[in-house]
């Protein structure tokens, strides 16, 4: 055996270290997605929010997705060929309007008041890759200085609201929530993070990390490597790896802090997409968002994106693990298990 190893070293290269595996525990079914809309308590009549979406040249932007929302309502419309949209049947109240269109920066209009007048205008001018100016009820709304996280996040492996996670103080700001999250993340080794704006809040994404099948983070340096660690030479795992590709499990955790219900798309996240979240986001929460008072009903939701390497050849080709792709072939951890095994559950002081 020693001869074999020596010969191999002579022939080709060096030997590296090892990490073992443990079986993953069984998985309870994920919770159903939250409802898309509900009626706010202040409603006493209904009205229409409408407007026109144009680009910087004043040309209409057709096909833009317009989401009108507040703490209890979320309605979506699409602009027509003239760039016009209208969302009807909205209970009276104050709304935010989010406009998303391919090729343009995401725009948000806040403070759209719908009262006895029964209609409100919210026009938007979108710009490609730059800032934009949005008129809402005569007020100019400054653009968000950091990239926006998808309002409808891609499908995650698991997710869980964390209602017990509260920021200190009687009237916490979004920055207080950030401090709770980021200090917990720092304590368990997630020093690289990416911040995104999110309607009425923000999103925080961790760096992609390699984990054991039971959800524990791997020790460094394997933790933040996209290649599975090499087991000890002549260990059972090593011998198995001679003829069978080694599996690697990877994870990205996204915390979304908002008072809105979050509806995911049915498209699974890709590993490239999730791995790019920390670098694509801001390094810190800008003061504009950080100092914002938290609306009633704000909560933190954790989204877990777990991937498995599907081929030995290309470590960047990772497949999202979800109930659809696994089809019961192996157990899938739930969000709480992921947070517990990563140490975040305890670091966040969750019961």
Partner 1 sequence: MNPATISMERLRGRLAAIWLSGSGLILTVMIAGSLNGLFDKSTQAVWEWLLPTIMPTVGSIVSTLAATALVENASKGEVRRSFALVAEALSIFYLLIILGSIVFKQSISSDTPQWVEKLHMSNLWLGPLQGIVASALAVVFLSKKGKDASSADVGSGE
Residues 6+ apart with CB under 8 A from 12: none
Kindly state whether residue 20 participates in binding partner 1, applying the rule CB under 8 A: no
What is the spatial distance between Cα 228 and Cα 335, in angstroms, rounded to a whole number? 23
Using the contact rule CB under 8 A, the part of the chain among 12-20, 49-57, 93-101, 299-307 near partner 1 is: 12-20
Residues 193-252 that bind partner 1 (CB under 8 A): 227-231, 233, 238, 241-246
Kindly state whether residue 313 participates in binding partner 1, applying the rule CB under 8 A: yes
Nearer to partner 1, 42 or 240 (CB): 240
Pick left, alpha or beta for residue 161 (phi over 0 → left; psi -120 to 50 → alpha; otherwise beta): beta
Residue positions counted in the chain: 351
**Binding residue (CB under 8 A) for partner 1 from 315, 319, 325, 340:** 315
Q: Is 15 exposed, middle or buried (0-12, 13-18, 19+ CB in 10 A)?
A: exposed
Residues 6+ apart with CB under 8 A from 283: 193, 194, 195
What is the spatial distance between Cα 270 and Cα 157, in angstroms, rounded to a whole number? 11
Instruction: Give the DSSP H/E element, type plus range, for residue 47.
Output: strand 46-55
Kindly state whether residue 16 participates in binding partner 1, applying the rule CB under 8 A: yes
Using the contact rule CB under 8 A, the part of the chain among 13-21, 41-49, 78-86, 143-151 near partner 1 is: 13-21
**Binding residue (CB under 8 A) for partner 1 from 12, 59, 116, 293:** 12
Nearer to partner 1, 161 or 241 (CB): 241
Nearer to partner 1, 113 or 312 (CB): 312
- How many chain residues are in contact with partner 1, going by CB under 8 A? 31
**Binding residue (CB under 8 A) for partner 1 from 14, 35, 138, 168:** 14
Residues 263-292 that bind partner 1 (CB under 8 A): none
What is the spatial distance between Cα 276 and Cα 281, in angstroms, rounded to a whole number? 8
Chain contacts with partner 1 (rule: CB under 8 A): 3-5, 7-16, 227-231, 233, 238, 241-246, 311-315
């Amino acid at each position: 055996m020693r001869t074999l190893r020596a010969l191999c070293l002579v022939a080709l290269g060096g030997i590296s270290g090892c990490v073992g595996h443990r079986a993953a525990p069984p998985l309870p079914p994920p919770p159903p997605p939250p409802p898309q809309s509900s009626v706010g308590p202040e409603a006493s009549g209904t009205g229409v929010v409408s407007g026109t979406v144009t680009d910087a040249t004043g040309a209409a932007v057709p096909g833009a997705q317009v989401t009108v929302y507040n703490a209890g309502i979320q309605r979506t419309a699409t602009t027509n060929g003239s760039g016009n949209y209208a969302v009807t049947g909205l209970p009276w109240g104050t709304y935010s309007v989010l406009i998303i269109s391919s090729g343009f920066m995401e725009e948000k209009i806040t403070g759209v008041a719908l009262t006895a007048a029964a209609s409100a205008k919210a026009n938007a001018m979108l710009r490609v890759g730059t800032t934009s100016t949005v008129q809402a009820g005569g007020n100019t709304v400054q653009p968000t200085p950091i990239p926006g996280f998808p309002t409808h996040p891609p499908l995650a492996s698991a997710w869980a609201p964390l209602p017990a996670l509260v920021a200190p103080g009687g009237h916490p700001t979004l920055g207080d929530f950030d401090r709770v999250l980021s200090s917990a993340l720092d304590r368990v080794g997630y020093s690289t993070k990416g911040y995104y704006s999110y309607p009425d809040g923000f999103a925080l994404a961790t760096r992609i990390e390699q984990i054991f099948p039971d959800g524990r983070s791997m020790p460094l340096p394997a933790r933040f490597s996209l290649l599975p660690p090499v087991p000890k030479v002549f260990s059972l795992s090593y011998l198995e790896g001679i003829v069978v590709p080694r599996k690697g499990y990877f994870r990205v955790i996204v915390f979304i802090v908002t008072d809105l219900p979050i509806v995911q798309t049915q498209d699974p996240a890709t590993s490239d997409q999730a791995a790019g979240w920390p670098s694509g986001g801001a390094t810190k929460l800008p003061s504009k968002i950080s100092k914002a008072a938290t609306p009633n009903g704000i909560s933190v939701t954790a989204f877990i994106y777990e991937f498995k390497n599907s081929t030995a050849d290309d470590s960047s080709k990772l497949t999202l693990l979800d109930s659809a792709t696994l089809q019961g072939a192996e157990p899938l951890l739930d969000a709480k298990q992921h947070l517990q095994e990563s140490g975040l559950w305890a670091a966040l002081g969750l019961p």
